[in-house]
Structure 1
Amino acid sequence: MGSADRGAILVRQRCASCHAVERSGDSPMTAATPFRDMGVLYPVRDLQEAFAEGLVTAHPAMPPVELQPTEIADIIAYLETVSGTGPGR
């Protein structure tokens, strides 16, 4: 099981320049989905496979993302927390 606290650190370091990663606020890049919406738009657990394979999107500004298994678990835990879709919501 991942740590939402460690996931928060990761997304603030690696994702916040484009995505809104907190419970409120706009994404710095308008086309970047806020993290709080990802758990509503997609089953967060389904994103685990995408993270493991390396995120590659059709969006030209999105860099390729490669994560270690522990980082994936931490980001999943954070996404569940920030979107309110995780266990104990």
Structure 2
Amino acid sequence: MRAIKYVVAVVVMLTASQAWAAEDEDVTKGRQLAERLCSRCHAVGPQGDSPFEPAPPFRALVEKWPDTEVLAEALAEGINVGHPAMPEFVLQPHEIGDLLSYLETLKK
């Protein structure tokens, strides 16, 4: 009986470890995506000013759009803010998930 409990505990720990690793990978991919696509104008990290003053820092965006489902929908449809300074782009579903995972880390 003790061996069964030990095996169950090990399986639970390994499963949780794999889930955390996958979550960390999503956050890393999301940060890299933000840096590649957005950092020219936006501050994408937890500190600092945006290089392009009118572009809000990402940490301000997560305060403005705390409901990530709404933001996910906007990202899926392609963000187009109607001015030439911000290009229109469409992210793939896995990229949206990664970016949202990263944005979650910026919430206070």
Q: TM-score of the superposition, structure 2-length normalised?
A: 0.72
Aligned residues: 84
Alignment match, 1:25: 48
Q: State the distance in 2 between where 1:80 and 1:62 align.
A: 23
Give secondary structure in 2 for the equivalent of 1:38: helix
Which has the greater radius of gyration?
2
CA offsets 1:35-77 (integer angstroms, 9 cap, x no match): 0111111124110000000111123200001100000000011
Q: TM-score of the superposition, structure 1-length normalised?
A: 0.87
> Which of 38, 42, 45 is matched with 1:15 structurally?
38
Identity of aligned residues (%): 44
**Larger proportion of helix:** 2
Give secondary structure in 1 for the equivalent of 2:106: helix
Cα offset, 1:32, TM superposition: 0.4
